[in-house]
């Protein structure tokens, strides 16, 4: 599905701060549209989403955020509402990953190394609607974004 976006010259947008805000809103909208459009069409979409897109989609309820770090890492803090599914428990808890291709799934780990590897494994199982979050929870924490202590994860 093509994006229909009119691009205006920066000189028409107003002050520098206003141009930056407009550019950030526009680029976030484009990134979210690209990340979430056609989730079942893996060959036409990217495997990674930015941290900003992931947070926005998760907090708006447009995507399921799955934290695949281990329980001792979860103890340092997680994104509120994220599902906790440690990577080493993935095989026995695979049924906890939504299978509906209309429900985007975003994997997050500490940096993105484990989540990108997990993505490849899930793709082999037919999960075309799964993406990984670039930057991971280490970058989330570095930015000072809200984190909560987990209240207990199944199988942790």
What is the band of 1 on the pLDDT scale with cuts at 50, 70, 90? very low
Domain layout of the chain by residue ranges: 11-142
Give pLDDT, residue 34.
Answer: 37
Q: What SS3 state is found at 8? A: coil
Question: Which helix or strand (DSSP H or E) is residue 106 part of?
Answer: strand 105-108
Angular region, 152: left φ>0, alpha ψ -120 to 50, beta rest: left
In this structure, is the dihedral angle defined by the CA atoms of residues 133, 134, 137 and 143, taken in order, positive or negative?
A: negative
Secondary-structure percent of the chain, ordered helix, strand, coil, rounded to 5? 45, 10, 45
Give pLDDT, residue 19.
Answer: 54
**pLDDT of 129 higher than 90:** yes
Give pLDDT, residue 112.
Answer: 92
**β 130-133/105-108 pair status:** parallel
Residues 6+ apart with CB under 8 A from 41: 128
Q: Among 3.40.50.150, 3.30.70.920, 3.40.250.10, 3.40.50.300, name the CATH number for the domain at 11-142.
A: 3.40.250.10
> How far is Cα 105 from Cα 15, in angstroms, rounded to an integer?
38
pLDDT, tens digit, 9 for 90 and up, residues 69-126: 999 999 999 999 999 999 999 999 999 999 999 999 999 999 999 999 999 999 999 9
- Report the Cα 95 to chain-centroid distance in Å: 19
Of the ranges 19-33, 34-48, 80-94, 114-128, which one carries the lowest mean pLDDT score? 19-33
**Residue from 137, 107, 136 nearest 35 by CA:** 107
Residue 82 CB coordination number (10 Å)? 21
> How far is Cα 119 from Cα 1, in angstroms, rounded to an integer?
24
């Amino acid at each position: 599905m093509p994006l229909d976006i009119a691009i205006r010259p920066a000189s028409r947008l107003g002050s520098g701060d206003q141009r930056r805000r407009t550019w950030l809103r526009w680029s976030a909208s484009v990134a979210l549209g690209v990340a979430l459009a056609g989730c079942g069409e893996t060959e036409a979409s990217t495997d990674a989403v930015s941290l900003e897109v992931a947070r926005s989609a998760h907090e708006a309820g447009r995507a399921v955020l799955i934290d695949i770090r281990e329980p001792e890492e979860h103890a340092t803090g997680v994104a509120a509402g994220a599902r906790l599914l440690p990577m080493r428990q993935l095989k026995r808890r695979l049924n906890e990953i939504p299978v509906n291709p209309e429900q985007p799934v975003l994997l997050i780990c500490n940096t993105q190394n484990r989540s990108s590897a997990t993505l490849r494994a899930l793709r082999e199982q037919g999960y075309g609607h799964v993406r990984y979050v670039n930057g991971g929870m280490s970058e989330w924490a570095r930015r000072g974004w809200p984190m909560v202590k987990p209240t207990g994860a199944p199988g942790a």
